[in-house]
Structure 1
Amino acid sequence: MNSEIKVQSLADFRNSIDETTPARKRISSLLDPESFVELDAFAASNGESCGVVTGYGYVDGNPVYVFSQDIKAASGAVTMAHSKKIKKVYELAAKTGSPVVGIYDSNGAKLTEGVDALAAYGEMLASVNNLSGVVPQISLVLGTCAGTAAMMACSADLVVMSKKAEFFLASSGDTAKDSAQAAAKSGTAHLVAENDDAAIEQVKKLLSMLPSNNLSAAPLFDFAAPDTAAAAGSSVRDIFAAVADADSVVELQTQFGVSAVTALATVNGNVAGLVATDRENGALCADGASKIARFVRLCDAFNIPVVTFVDVEGFRVSAESELAGGIREIAKLAHAYAEATTAKVSVITGAAYGSAYVALAGKGANADVVFAWENATVSALNPEASVELFWHDKLKKTKNLAQSRAELAEEYKCTLGSAFEAAKGGHIDAVIDPAETRMSVASALDMLAGKRVSKLPKKHGNMPL
């Protein structure tokens, strides 16, 4: 649509629409052909276009609301009329229980509107946050997303960016720091695609895996079993590939909190959230804990079951980690697991020591079912410390202390720290062969499909944010 609106007839209006503008092309690429219905097309701000295209349509036959900022119309400037169009999209989404996709590409507010521009942003931000946890919200950043718009986009459940897009609260003046790559490293962006088309395809994939709202069941998929089974010593991503259906894993935030891995996938055609600690990247760090907590809450909001694979010796302990808020992030992780009422299955694939076991696999995580591989170790302390504490007399009798400590630590893993010992105390529900992991997880998820939990009456918990 031209920036200046002059309409004398419906034919004039339709002829004035430029379908080649990025805003409209992006909507057309996202939605099923001929399914887009535009809303408030005649809305204007001081006789000019509002700088945003809004409406609804279908993605793979499922209803979706969408808004797309129009950088070609007054630079996509945000005005009160602009915000009212977007606010209506959120109001309709709340009434109908349909997802919202926001496509961001704007140079910011129209400064001549003064305080009205601030009020406009405030209304949009309130709409995003009030709808959180009710319907899935996906932000698609394909141009500049700055200031309050960046707060809006980041408040969505998932953020997908094009490689060329910019995302910042206040520009640093350094293009690299405002880039999609920087957003990925900071955890702001969940997925970064090579270009607009690839980013739109990622959004379609995510929409296909999420339920329409918090009262709807997640979609079911046709599936093919994976080619390989899980095996002792497998990497985290190999375990995901062995447990999930073939080609179904969508990993999120790959460059952030690399001590943890999170992904959406399907298991026997059912959508599940997969979480793992990546021991190859050391102890679980503050960013890794925050990444898992955010993901678990997303899954819980839409009743997507969570499967957690645990192989970690503990949380990262250092002065640097403490200064980065390590304790707070770890407490947030524990809170997210304990509060989540969706089905939760934990699989201990290696080490599960101390507070890490409590938060991720123990009763503190409110896990419904806990499996452990037969070579797993479950212990209050790491084996070396356990030997010093419990088998000190054995150590005193040895000549080569270092060698004996290592040998006794291995013995401890196979005896008091073994999965079988934990199972004797009822802390593990079943000890399984690694090759049985997919079958065991799928069976547990099937049995937990009807899980219902009544929580204590309260407004909400006070998570240590």
Structure 2
Amino acid sequence: MSENINTLAELSAASLASSPARTRLTYLFDDGKFTELDAYVKDGSELTGVITAFGYVEGNPAYAFSQNIDVKNGAVTEAATNKIAKVYDLAAKTGVPVVGIYDSFGADVSDGAKALKAYGELLMWSSNLSGVVPQIAVVAGVCAGCAAMLAESADFTVMTKDAQLYVAPNSDIKDSAENAAKNGTASLVCADDKEAVEAAKNILLKLPQNNLSPVPMYEFADPTGIPAGDAESVAAAICDGDSVLELNADYGKAAYTALASIGGATVGITATNKTNDALTSDDCSKIARFVRICDSYAIPVITLVDTEGFAANDATEVQGAVKNMAKLAHAYAEATTIKISVVIGKAYGPAYIALAGKGANADISYAVPSAVISPLNPVTAVEFMEHDELKGASDLTAERKALADKYADTKASASYAAVSGCVDGIVEPAQIRETLINSIEIMAGKRISRLPKKHSNIQL
């Protein structure tokens, strides 16, 4: 009996020992307090290399697991994955978000096929929970092999600047945080693990508890200034003060995605003129992915449109970018959440249809008075439609520009689009915020039914 008591005492002391994994959980939960799950589960003579727990994040319940690099370098065993699987199971039963903190060199090779089988079950759990409860991954060290796939199954991935995320251990390319940010793998990169966990908390607070919960409502401060210039500054000017959290800033740089709040309610902001470049394959993939996440949790999507369209060049065709362009259009069309678009500059051709087209891709569409909405770039349009007027011009370039400007002011103007039914209204820049608040409120009861099917078959 005394021997059992001593063993239990030793396990208790070991489970409470300070470690990076435990410290990271204190960063996550309110007042650093949490309730640990399966604290005494062992792998052989040692405790498992993961700590699982639940607690509160700004008063809202959350589950979490944190890999412990101090135990076998965080090696993942069957026992460890069983602990994580329990977290997913409880999250599914209670509709509560999951935060995973990764710091491990991968599966314990001595556990062999058992570890692989357990990883497969974790990927299944994460997939089943996708779009049901928010999942945030924090990569605070090495995240390798199957764990990398698990981390990327989350809604958002946050990395520390020194972290690595890769599948192939012998690859010459270890996905550094910098590279992960550029290729869209990491939503945010932070200086250290504390900052990364704080960033994960910030994302979590902007999301509902699950797909059946309403979006969070908060006290808010009014923005300052009048919307002007690029879409990024417009987003900051129309959203609540200090509420904008840009995501994937270094990926698809002609596009902009952010979680924010307007009138105290969470919204997703997408915009298209961060660099004034045409939209590439990466830009399309970035926006499509973000729209699908917002739609999963019924977060209204506000799209600010200012683009000359999709990139059209040899490189685009070689890369098969049209696949991601179709994916972008499909993400909007499939989404049943509130979708409101505002053309704040240019909206040409297929890009207008994909991002701001009334009906399937936007419930309500607005334009500022200076917007230019056209099937083609106005210069190209006059070449097709008014080519005869260019004949004999003494200064062909000047004459073409004059005709293009006239076309933009008439047949491609915001007023012409409104008369034609392409937009629902024309709003002054200073009125965009109020118009959006009113539109979101009136659309709050939106209900829509789709044809019965398992899933769409657009190439993702």
- TM-score, normalised to structure 2, is 0.96
Once the two structures are superposed, the pairs formed by residues 27-426 of structure 1 within 5 Å of their partners are 27-33=25-31, 35-171=33-169, 177-231=174-228, 234-278=229-273, 280-363=275-358, 365-396=360-391, 398-426=393-421
Query: C-alpha displacement at 1:363, in angstroms?
Result: 3.2
The aligned amino acid for 1:187 is G
**Residues 150 and 167 in structure 1, CA contact (< 8 A), matched pair in contact too:** yes
Query: C-alpha displacement at 1:185, in angstroms?
Result: 0.7
Establish whether residue 24 from structure 1 lines up as the match of residue 22 from structure 2: yes
* Counterparts of 1:308 and 1:104, CA distance in 2: 33
Q: Secondary structure at the match of 1:330?
A: helix
Query: C-alpha displacement at 1:9, in angstroms?
Result: 5.4
Give per-residue Cα distances to partners, 1:37-62, cap 9 Å, x unaligned. 11111211223222100121110111
Once the two structures are superposed, the pairs formed by residues 424-439 of structure 1 within 5 Å of their partners are 424-439=419-434
Query: C-alpha displacement at 1:364, in angstroms?
Result: 6.4
Larger deviation, residues 201-210 vs 112-121: 112-121
The aligned amino acid for 2:117 is A
* Counterparts of 1:7 and 1:68, CA distance in 2: 28
Query: C-alpha displacement at 1:164, in angstroms?
Result: 1.3
* Counterparts of 1:323 and 1:146, CA distance in 2: 31
**Residues 358 and 423 in structure 2, CA contact (< 8 A), matched pair in contact too:** no
**Residues 258 and 281 in structure 1, CA contact (< 8 A), matched pair in contact too:** no
**Residues 378 and 405 in structure 2, CA contact (< 8 A), matched pair in contact too:** yes
* Counterparts of 2:446 and 2:186, CA distance in 1: 32
The aligned amino acid for 1:329 is N
* Counterparts of 1:146 and 1:317, CA distance in 2: 37
Q: Secondary structure at the match of 2:347?
A: strand
Query: C-alpha displacement at 1:10, in angstroms?
Result: 4.4
Give per-residue Cα distances to partners, 1:163-212, cap 9 Å, x unaligned. 1111111246657x431111111100000011111111111111111000
Give per-residue Cα distances to partners, 1:83-108, cap 9 Å, x unaligned. 11000100100000000000000111
Q: Secondary structure at the match of 2:400?
A: helix
Query: C-alpha displacement at 1:449, in angstroms?
Result: 1.4
* Counterparts of 2:131 and 2:275, CA distance in 1: 33
* Counterparts of 2:150 and 2:388, CA distance in 1: 61
Larger deviation, residues 32-41 vs 135-144: 32-41
* Counterparts of 2:354 and 2:141, CA distance in 1: 39
Query: C-alpha displacement at 1:392, in angstroms?
Result: 2.0
Structure 2: gaps (5+ residues): none
* Counterparts of 1:173 and 1:464, CA distance in 2: 27
**Residues 172 and 178 in structure 1, CA contact (< 8 A), matched pair in contact too:** no
**Residues 338 and 443 in structure 2, CA contact (< 8 A), matched pair in contact too:** yes
Identity over aligned residues, as a percent? 50
Give per-residue Cα distances to partners, 1:384-405, cap 9 Å, x unaligned. 1111122223222532211100
Larger deviation, residues 305-314 vs 11-20: 11-20
Q: Specify whether residues 114 and 442 from structure 1 end up closer, same or farther in structure 2 by C-alpha distance, changes over 3 A only.
A: same
- Between the two proteins, the alignment pairs up a number of residues equal to 458
* Counterparts of 1:149 and 1:362, CA distance in 2: 40
**Residues 253 and 274 in structure 2, CA contact (< 8 A), matched pair in contact too:** no
**Residues 31 and 58 in structure 1, CA contact (< 8 A), matched pair in contact too:** yes
The aligned amino acid for 2:144 is A
**Residues 97 and 135 in structure 2, CA contact (< 8 A), matched pair in contact too:** yes
Q: Secondary structure at the match of 1:119?
A: helix
Match of 1:3 in 2: none
**Residues 133 and 301 in structure 1, CA contact (< 8 A), matched pair in contact too:** yes
Establish whether residue 447 from structure 1 lines up as the match of residue 442 from structure 2: yes
Query: C-alpha displacement at 1:34, in angstroms?
Result: 5.8
Q: Secondary structure at the match of 1:114?
A: helix
* Counterparts of 1:45 and 1:172, CA distance in 2: 27
**Residues 253 and 275 in structure 2, CA contact (< 8 A), matched pair in contact too:** no
* Counterparts of 1:345 and 1:91, CA distance in 2: 36
Give per-residue Cα distances to partners, 1:121-168, cap 9 Å, x unaligned. 111111111110000000010010011100000110000111111111
Query: C-alpha displacement at 1:7, in angstroms?
Result: 6.5
Indicate the RMSD between aligned Cα atoms, in angstroms: 1.6
**Residues 53 and 69 in structure 1, CA contact (< 8 A), matched pair in contact too:** yes
* Counterparts of 2:92 and 2:340, CA distance in 1: 31
- TM-score, normalised to structure 1, is 0.95
Query: C-alpha displacement at 1:325, in angstroms?
Result: 2.6
Q: Secondary structure at the match of 1:142?
A: strand
* Counterparts of 1:224 and 1:67, CA distance in 2: 34
